[in-house]
């Protein structure tokens, strides 16, 4: 059994693994991923995991459980071109399709080394998934190439890599984790920035309380729209057939409307 710390990593492992592996996702659908603490029942279930993919530092409680499991832990942040926010590494790499592609290549290699008899299948499926990510990346780049606004005001600091990939600038109300509370000073500065820059949309996030985004939007006369961080999509979205690609395309449409592209 292969473990994946949260949704985007599970999406990679399921795509690359196909029928050859069983995947256990540690964060259940719709649960907040940053602060998630595995239950004793989950920890027992994870005892059969041979390899677990995670992003070291993103989910401290999950990292602690991984430490005691004895499974081989693979940190998919290793080797990626990372950015810091303050003194913290920004873990939200999956929102740049090219970084997700790099992680997919790594998952393919790790699985192929672990189960050599299945290596051809892993490599083929990894290549297919990367082709789809390349196509998504091209769509995103084309769709965001010419926008009236390039300032992305978000609820928490999740979209830094997406912004870097497509020439946008992110300003977040809270920090790297949604539980980082903004100060009154931060809120005042953001409100000034929204007014000065003529920002028309403040972006809230699926699965997080929208009150901060709504307050900022109300105070400045901007509108608000909802983006998917794809950290832990709600069960009803997944049941309706949504996946990484459909949620990123929904983000693209929301960004194009909100930024005037
Ligand atoms: Zn986040």
In this model, does residue 121 exceed pLDDT 90?
yes
Residue 79 CA, ligand 1 centroid: distance in Å: 20
What is the CA(140)–ligand 1 centre distance, in A? 20
Ligand 1 centre to CA of 120 (Å) is 34
Judged against a pLDDT cut of 80, whether residue 210 lies above it is answered with no
pLDDT given at position 211 = 83
Instruction: Give distance in angstroms: CA of 234 to centre of ligand 1.
Output: 15
User: How long is the chain?
Assistant: 261
Q: What is the Å distance from ligand 1's center to 50 Cα?
A: 27
Q: Compute the average pLDDT of residues 202-225.
A: 89
Give me the residue spans of the domains in the chain.
Answer: 2-141, 146-259
Q: Where are the alpha helices (DSSP H) in 115-183?
A: 119-143, 160-166
CA 175–ligand 1 middle distance (angstroms): 9
What integer is the mean pLDDT of 114-130?
Answer: 98
Distance in angstroms (rounded) separating the CA atoms of residues 12 and 24: 12
Name the residue with higher pLDDT: 21 or 156.
Answer: 21
pLDDT score, position 177: 86
The pLDDT of residue 27 is above 90: yes
Q: Where are the beta strands (DSSP E) in 76-221?
A: 84-85, 88-89, 151-154, 169-172, 201-205
164-207 pLDDT, tens digit per residue, is: 999 999 999 888 888 888 888 888 999 999 999 999 999 999 87
Task: Quote the CA–CA distance of 34 and 21 in Å, as a whole number.
Answer: 26
What's the gap in Å between 35 CA and the centre of ligand 1? Answer: 10
Q: Is the pLDDT of residue 208 over 80?
A: no
Q: Check if 2-141 and 146-259 are the same fold.
A: yes
User: Please, which pLDDT band fits residue 237 given cuts at 50, 70 and 90?
Assistant: very high
Predicted local distance difference test score (pLDDT) of residue 179: 82
Instruction: Judge whether 147 and 261 are in contact, CB under 8 Å.
Output: yes
Asked if 2 and 24 touch (Cβ cutoff 8 Å), the reply is: yes
Distance 176 CA to ligand 1 centre (A): 6
What integer is the mean pLDDT of 36-48?
91
pTM of the model: 0.95
User: For residue 218, how far is its CA from the centre of ligand 1 (angstroms)?
Assistant: 24
The CATH label, of 3.90.420.10, 3.40.50.1970, 3.40.50.1980, 3.40.50.1820, for the domain at 2-141 is 3.40.50.1980
> How large is the average pLDDT for residues 105-114?
98
Distance 156 CA to ligand 1 centre (A): 7
Percent of the chain with pLDDT over 70: 100
- Nearest CA to 231 among 177, 181, 151, 168? 177
pLDDT digits (tens, 9 = 90+) for 47-96: 999 999 999 999 999 999 999 988 999 999 999 999 999 889 999 999 99
Judging by DSSP bridges, how do beta strands 84-85 and 88-89 pair with one another?
antiparallel
251 confidence band (pLDDT: 50, 70, 90): very high
Query: 146-259: which CATH architecture?
Result: 3-Layer(aba) Sandwich (3.40)
Can you give the pLDDT at residue 8?
A: 98
Distance 205 CA to ligand 1 centre (A): 10
CA of 114 to the centre of ligand 1 (A): 30
* pLDDT score recorded for residue 247: 98
pLDDT-derived band at 137 (thresholds 50, 70, 90) equals very high
């Amino acid at each position: 059994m292969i473990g994946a710390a949260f949704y985007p990593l599970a999406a990679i492992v399921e795509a690359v693994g196909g029928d050859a592996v069983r995947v256990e996702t540690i964060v259940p659908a719709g649960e907040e991923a940053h602060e998630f603490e595995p239950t004793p029942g989950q920890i027992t279930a994870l005892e059969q995991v041979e390899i677990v993919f995670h992003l070291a530092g993103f989910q401290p409680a999950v990292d602690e459980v991984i430490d005691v499991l004895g499974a081989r832990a693979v940190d998919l942040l290793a080797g990626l071109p990372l950015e810091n926010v303050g003194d913290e590494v920004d873990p939200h790499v999956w929102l740049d399709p090219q970084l997700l592609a790099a992680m997919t290549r790594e998952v393919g290699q790790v699985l192929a080394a672990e189960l050599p008899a299945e290596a051809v299948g892993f490599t083929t499926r990894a290549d297919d998934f990367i082709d789809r990510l390349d196509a998504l990346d091209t769509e995103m780049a084309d769709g965001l190439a010419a926008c009236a606004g390039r300032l992305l005001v978000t609820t928490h600091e999740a979209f830094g890599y997406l912004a870097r990939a497509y020439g946008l600038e992110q300003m977040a109300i809270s920090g790297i984790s949604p539980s980082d509370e903004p100060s009154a000073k931060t809120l005042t500065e953001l409100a000034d920035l929204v007014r000065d820059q003529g920002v028309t949309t403040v972006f809230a996030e699926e699965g997080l309380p929208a009150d901060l985004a709504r307050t900022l939007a109300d105070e400045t006369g901007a509108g608000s729209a909802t983006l998917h961080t794809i950290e832990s999509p709600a069960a009803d979205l997944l049941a309706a057939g949504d996946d990484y690609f459909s949620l990123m395309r929904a983000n693209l449409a929301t960004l194009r409307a909100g930024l005037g592209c």
